């Protein structure tokens, strides 16, 4: 047994299984995959990796399974391995390239069957009598025990909310995960939170709201991620990058490929290197554009082209960012009280109002180089039929 010192959880124990898995090239690659993509352009300390997060998730999963006597030892071992490997399918810069990889390969980061079948990992799993197929199901949340890793309130989000808050310095990322884990149990084959953990569950929801507002959907993060994604798509479409290879690259590999790319992809790469980012030509909430705008999510490139034509600029100087409908799945977590289960948003009036706050913080962005922002902004307002823009200052704008 060895231990490593983690800045979030303190000492984390590494048994022989964990040490063997950590030694594989698939896990070592995660040291070079940044957890928060380009958020370090906003928060300079946000340089932590998927490797650290994987260790933290494994640690919390082990804490939870140790507290549950109903789980057999071999299943606890499976969950430990699954927790450690749950992010092994992430591409470079984590979620930044996820949609691009999905578009061209139909694989998301949870689709780890092929990776767990690699010789290095397969041999270790065979050594310890662990079924790769079971791990795949656990990671996707397709089993009862898989809820520990993938459900409304799971150890994955407990770790990344606390870890991301630590490295960004955002003061609102306080989650009482120790109390939450102590109050979690299985009831009627469902992972639930006992009523005594209600306040801890509330802390997780508050952390989620503030991290969404301050970090995950910060406009600089969204702009830089949109620029990176477009650069990658351009390289794929011009046969400068194999999308199936992309999934197994790390951040260093991708940055090198972008810097060596020709045309528009290389131009975007140089802008990202120098932090000379596109600016907000239009940045509005659902109250300004209405929910009907979400129908454009499946035709972004066409929307960009049509706005560019209205503005009289090259379409490469228009990036449209329409996030998915705001949602907080954690609200559907079940709270057990008096031998019955009720959703978290019904158990807590405080939680029930957070969804509205989440909707208020949603923003659609149209981004362009500074010199084109005025004409692109006017064209975008005409395109989306925004009659009047009132400037509203919110915490996300500060």
Q: What does DSSP assign to residue 192?
A: E
- pLDDT tens per residue, the chain (398 residues)? 999 999 999 999 999 999 999 999 999 999 999 999 999 999 999 999 999 999 999 999 999 999 998 899 999 999 999 999 999 999 999 999 999 999 999 999 999 999 999 999 999 999 999 999 999 999 999 999 999 999 999 999 999 999 999 999 987 657 899 999 999 999 989 999 999 999 999 999 889 888 998 999 999 999 999 999 999 999 999 999 999 999 999 999 999 999 999 999 999 999 999 999 999 999 999 989 998 999 999 999 999 999 999 999 999 999 999 998 877 778 889 999 887 899 998 888 888 788 777 778 899 999 999 999 999 999 999 999 997 654 555 555 55
Which pLDDT value is given to residue 151?
92
pLDDT at position 104 is 96
Q: What pLDDT score does 376 carry?
A: 98
CA distance 191 to 27: 28
Which alpha helices (DSSP H) does 107-218 contain, by range? 113-116, 119-127, 132-139, 155-168, 177-182, 198-211
Cβ atoms of 368 and 318 within 8 Å: the answer is yes
Are the CB atoms for 389 and 284 separated by under 8 Å?
A: yes
Task: Identify which of 224, 216, 228 has the alpha carbon closest to the alpha carbon of residue 279.
Answer: 224
pTM of the model: 0.93
Check residue 106 and give its pLDDT.
96
Q: Give pLDDT, residue 352.
A: 76
pLDDT of 351 reads 82
pLDDT of res. 339:
77
Residue 387 has a pLDDT of 77
């Amino acid at each position: 047994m060895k231990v490593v010192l983690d800045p979030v959880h303190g000492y984390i124990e590494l048994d022989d299984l964990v040490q063997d898995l950590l030694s594989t090239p698939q896990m070592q690659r995660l040291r070079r995959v940044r957890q928060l993509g380009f958020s370090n352009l906003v928060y300079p300390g946000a340089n932590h990796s998927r490797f650290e997060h994987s260790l933290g998730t494994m640690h919390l999963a082990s804490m939870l399974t140790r507290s549950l006597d109903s789980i057999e030892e071999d299943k606890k071992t499976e969950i430990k391995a699954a927790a450690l490997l749950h992010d092994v399918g992430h591409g470079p810069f984590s979620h930044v390239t996820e949609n691009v990889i999905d578009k061209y390969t139909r694989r998301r980061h949870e689709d780890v069957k092929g990776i767990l079948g690699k010789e290095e990992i397969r041999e270790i799993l065979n050594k310890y009598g662990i079924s790769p197929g079971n791990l795949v199901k656990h990671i996707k949340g397709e089993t009862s025990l898989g809820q520990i890793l993938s459900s409304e309130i799971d150890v994955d989000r407990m770790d990344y909310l606390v870890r991301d808050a630590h490295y960004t310095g955002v003061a609102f990322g306080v989650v009482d995960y120790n109390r939450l884990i102590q109050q979690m149990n299985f009831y009627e084959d469902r992972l639930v939170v006992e009523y005594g953990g209600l306040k801890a569950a509330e802390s997780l929801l508050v952390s989620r709201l503030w991290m969404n507002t301050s970090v995950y959907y910060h406009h600089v993060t969204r702009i830089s991620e949109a620029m990176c994604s477009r650069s990658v798509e351009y390289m794929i479409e011009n046969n400068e990058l194999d999308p199936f290879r992309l999934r197994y690259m790390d951040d260093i590999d991708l940055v090198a490929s972008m810097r060596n790319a020709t045309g528009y992809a290389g131009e975007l790469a140089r802008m990202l290197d120098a932090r000379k980012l596109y600016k907000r030509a239009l940045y509005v909430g659902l109250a300004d554009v209405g929910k009907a705008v979400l129908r454009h999510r499946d035709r972004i490139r066409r929307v960009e082209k049509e706005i560019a034509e209205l503005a009289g600029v090259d379409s490469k100087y228009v990036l449209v960012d329409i996030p998915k409908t705001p949602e907080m799945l954690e609200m559907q977590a079940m709270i057990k009280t008096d031998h019955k289960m009720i959703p978290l948003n019904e158990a807590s009036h405080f939680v029930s109002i957070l969804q509205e706050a989440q909707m208020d913080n949603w923003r659609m962005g149209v981004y362009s180089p500074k010199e084109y922002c005025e004409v692109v902004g006017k064209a975008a307002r005409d395109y989306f039929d925004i009659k009047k823009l009132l400037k509203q200052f919110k915490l996300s704008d500060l």
